[in-house]
Amino acid sequence: MADTMGMADLRAEHIDSAVTGFVLSEYKLKPLCLIKKSSAQTESYYAETSTELTGGTGNAVRGVPRGADFPFLEASWTKYSSVQEKYAGKGIVFYEDQLFNNFDVISRTFEKIGHAVAYAVDTVIEAAISTNAGNTFSIVATYEWDSATVANRDPISDLFQAIRLCAEDNYDVLKNGYLVVNPQDYQWLLSNVKVTNNPSFKSADVITNGVVGQLAGLKIVVSNAVTVDQAYVLQGQKAVVWQEAAPLKVFQVKEEGIKTTISAFEMGVAQVTNPNAICKITNTRK
């Protein structure tokens, strides 16, 4: 029986929403951001120094003499601005391919187009994290996570150093903290008995948004968007903000008997508002 126009619309809406939900689960780094709705083309923010205020040389806040004026404490902020960007793509499935192919080319194209947008967003967020990380250190040569000298591999110590560096800047990354790694570095983490035998290591019962386990109090996120040979320790929903002008939308436009055009887009910009809530670890592999 031929579908009415209303029935076709309902079917399309069902496919669109189902695939959009699938694509949302493909984000690995965007869920670590604080999502804020934006209605401005240019978004500005002020980054606050994390250094404790003092009255001058030494800790002049303490020991103010009787009757003396209070020491002057001056906070400082730096203004940053970013322009909104659109992330989009589309694909075409011709009627003949839809009719005769051995698998559901429509749903597969939906997923591939949507995933491309999600991956592009994650890549930009990773670049912002890498560029603006307030703390960074490089693992000494021959002590990398894949060092030929097995005894030299000690990623647990490296993670605690990253946690310490953030803590010295007054950021407790153990509160909603993440370890973000490339799949190649994740391989070396799991192949290290110091990691798998550590009491803090837990594998995830259900993998959600790239979180595959926990180590040193940090949730482990694995993503191909992460630059090879480096890793990040950061505080989720604190270090990075995603200013969202338009959320992800995946949809289709049909030309009956000719083709179906499948499109996906979103619009936003990543801002590292608390750079010292991030520590970048480099030279993780030799």
CATH number of the domain at 103, please.
3.90.1690.10
Residue tagged 């009757």 (tokens): 67
Q: Report if residue 138 sits inside a domain.
A: yes
- 278: Cβ contacts below 8 Å, ≥ 6 apart: 129, 132, 133, 134, 135, 166, 232, 233, 234, 235, 239, 240, 272
Split at pLDDT 50, 70, 90, the class of 20 is low
pTM of the model as a whole: 0.80
- Better-predicted residue by pLDDT, 236 or 97: 236
pLDDT in tens, 194-247: 999 999 999 887 777 778 999 999 999 999 999 999 999 999 999 999 999 999
Contact indicator for 264, 90 with CB cutoff of 8 Å: yes
Q: Report if residue 75 sits inside a domain.
A: no
Q: Report if residue 246 sits inside a domain.
A: yes
Q: Report if residue 109 sits inside a domain.
A: yes
Q: Report if residue 241 sits inside a domain.
A: yes
Contact indicator for 86, 121 with CB cutoff of 8 Å: no
Which parts of 101-202 fold into alpha helices (H)? 105-132, 155-168, 183-190, 193-196
Q: Report if residue 185 sits inside a domain.
A: yes
Among 258, 209, 259, 252, residue whose Cα is nearest residue 18: 252
Structure token pair of residue 279? 């520590």
Query: What is the rounded average pLDDT for all residues in the chain?
Result: 85
- 223: Cβ contacts below 8 Å, ≥ 6 apart: 28, 29, 122, 126, 180, 181, 182, 183, 210
Mean pLDDT of 161-188: 95
- Better-predicted residue by pLDDT, 24 or 269: 269
Among 21, 25, 20, residue whose Cα is nearest residue 210: 25
**Number of domains comprising the chain:** 1
How far apart, in whole angstroms, are the C-alpha atoms of residue 122 and residue 127?
9
In the predicted structure, residue 103 carries a pLDDT above the cut 70: yes
Domain that holds residue 161: 5-48+80-282
Contact indicator for 82, 267 with CB cutoff of 8 Å: no
* pLDDT at res. 250: 87
* pLDDT at res. 13: 46
Q: Report if residue 65 sits inside a domain.
A: no
- 202: Cβ contacts below 8 Å, ≥ 6 apart: 213, 214, 215
In the predicted structure, residue 172 carries a pLDDT above the cut 90: yes
In the predicted structure, residue 281 carries a pLDDT above the cut 70: yes
pLDDT in tens, 46-85: 666 656 677 666 557 877 888 888 888 777 777 777 788 9
Among 271, 201, 200, residue whose Cα is nearest residue 240: 271
How far apart, in whole angstroms, are the C-alpha atoms of residue 278 and residue 266?
26
Q: Report if residue 130 sits inside a domain.
A: yes
